[in-house]
Amino acid sequence: MMSFIDYLDEVARGFIGIIESQAGTSRMPTKDYGWENHRFANPRYRFAHVEIFNRDRFMVVHCCVFPRPDDPSPIFGFDVIAGESKVTGLFLDLSPTTLADQPPFMDWKPGGQRELPDWGRIFSRHVVACRPSSQDELRALCTAATSLLKWHIRRLGNESDGSWIMSGMQDRYCLQQRRNEHTTRAIRNILGEDLAREFITEVLFPTLRPTGTHRAHRYPALLSSHDVRVLSALASGIPEGGIAVECGSALGGSARVMLDANPALGHLHMIDPDYGTGADDLAREIDLYHEHAMPYHDEFGLYGYRGVREFAEGYIGNHPRVTMHGLASPYQLGWWEGQVDFVFEDSSHRNPQLRDNLEFWWDRLRPNGILAGHDYGVGCGDVDGTVRGMAESWGVHLNSDAAMWWVSKP
């Protein structure tokens, strides 16, 4: 009888064959970490990865396929850990990238169910997490996974959604997977601390937004340390007594950057629709697009607050130069009067709202005022094309540094 390890090696080779057989697939260069890692790119999806670790009668097979950031399709994930005659865990899921419910992907449930860890909330409610009790059950599950991969990969890239949520959900998936202590410990024991971190963050679960430097600054915001320096420099140039506006203030981290950088700022308007929803679910907000703030959970006690506004109010404090607006920009700001000196756009990254917002504030920007924004050059929504197109239509030079962009009004 074939050992579990030999059988799972066949399954993994089958996964590779399915992925490579898709038109447009190319192999991604991958550093040699001492075991097999096959990564693939395709115009119809972000990337696919098949990992085969076979050492000392111990086998791990990992397969993950990430959709494009604008594709609402789920993330295919398969993991199995086994010895020659025993499987300690098998996991199979189509993990959601939207809030929509999805139907089951299998019409039967295996036995030996395993309890999911705390970070496992990224999985769908149909996730298979079990210890197959026999080779027959293992074969049935691997056959189901193979069929699911064939079906799933063929439908990727056929749908595009205007929602901003998918890229955040993909990053959420990767960041939560990085919390798997068993995986982290095992890889660290083989590669050491630095190489293990590199493998996990760059090969296994790379995020769309860079995350490696977030602990280097003290602000609860989706900004790298370099982003913070750029925003600080821009904010410091606001004239004394000047008016600044931030769209998409969320936890208040970037607002605090501006306040710290310019003590002479006249007034800062923080605009975020979540500020008007009362006791909204802060944990859900973090899950959706603030998982990059995970390192701040302990430092700031995010889960101790009822909502985004409550946290931001406590974080900013009763600042005399700050007003918080629970409104969606620009659609609920028709009453706005007066010009401003600086606008930082970090709210909707999708049109038409992004375009409408930029036009609204450009019209209200004083001469020599700065219109700036975040998430440029990181594949986030409609940001790149819209910003470039609008700068050209206004006849101004587009500046960018790290993930920051800005233009100056003549």
| Residues 26, 145 share a domain | yes
- Closest by Cα among 225, 333, 321, 220 to 273: 333
| Residues 352, 230 share a domain | yes
State pLDDT tens for residues 300-314.
667 677 788 888 888
| Residues 145, 223 share a domain | no
What count of other Cβ atoms lies within 10 Å of the Cβ of residue 179? 15
Evaluate whether residue 129 is within a structural domain: yes
For position 166, which CATH number holds?
3.40.1500.20
Evaluate whether residue 132 is within a structural domain: yes
Determine the structural domain holding residue 250 and report its residue range. 214-408
State pLDDT tens for residues 143-195.
999 999 999 999 998 887 655 567 778 888 898 898 899 999 999 999 999 99
C-alpha–C-alpha distance, residues 355 and 390, integer Å: 8
Rg over CA atoms, the chain: 24
State pLDDT tens for residues 271-292.
999 888 655 556 655 655 555 5
Evaluate whether residue 242 is within a structural domain: yes
Strands of the sheet with 243-247, listed across from one edge: 322-325, 267-271, 243-247, 340-345, 365-373, 404-408, 399-401
* 345, 347, 351, 355 alpha-carbon torsion, rounded to 10°: -20
| Residues 176, 290 share a domain | no
| Residues 269, 374 share a domain | yes
The last residue of one of the domains, among 153, 172, 204, is: 204
| Residues 226, 161 share a domain | no
| Residues 341, 269 share a domain | yes
The last residue of one of the domains, among 153, 174, 204, is: 204
| Residues 230, 190 share a domain | no
Q: How confident is the model at residue 212 (pLDDT cuts 50, 70, 90)?
A: very low
Which token pair is 37? 């890692």
Evaluate whether residue 209 is within a structural domain: no
The last residue of one of the domains, among 163, 186, 204, is: 204
Q: Percent of the chain beyond pLDDT 90? A: 62
C-alpha–C-alpha distance, residues 255 and 269, integer Å: 9
For position 379, which CATH number holds?
3.40.50.150
| Residues 170, 67 share a domain | yes
Evaluate whether residue 65 is within a structural domain: yes
State pLDDT tens for residues 287-298.
555 555 555 555
| Residues 156, 223 share a domain | no
Evaluate whether residue 378 is within a structural domain: yes
Evaluate whether residue 186 is within a structural domain: yes
The tally of domains found in the chain comes to: 2
Average pLDDT of the chain, as a whole number: 88
Q: Are 349 and 290 contacting, i.e. CB atoms less than 8 angstroms apart?
A: no
State pLDDT tens for residues 68-105.
988 899 999 999 999 888 899 999 999 998 877 788 99
| Residues 171, 83 share a domain | yes
Contacts of 17 (CB under 8 A, 6+ apart): none
Q: What pLDDT does 303 receive? A: 66
Contacts of 69 (CB under 8 A, 6+ apart): 46, 166, 167, 170, 208, 379, 380, 381
C-alpha–C-alpha distance, residues 349 and 336, integer Å: 22
| Residues 152, 14 share a domain | yes
In DSSP terms, which residues pair with 239 in a beta bridge? none
Evaluate whether residue 294 is within a structural domain: yes
State pLDDT tens for residues 346-367.
998 889 999 999 999 999 999 9
- Closest by Cα among 208, 163, 211 to 348: 163
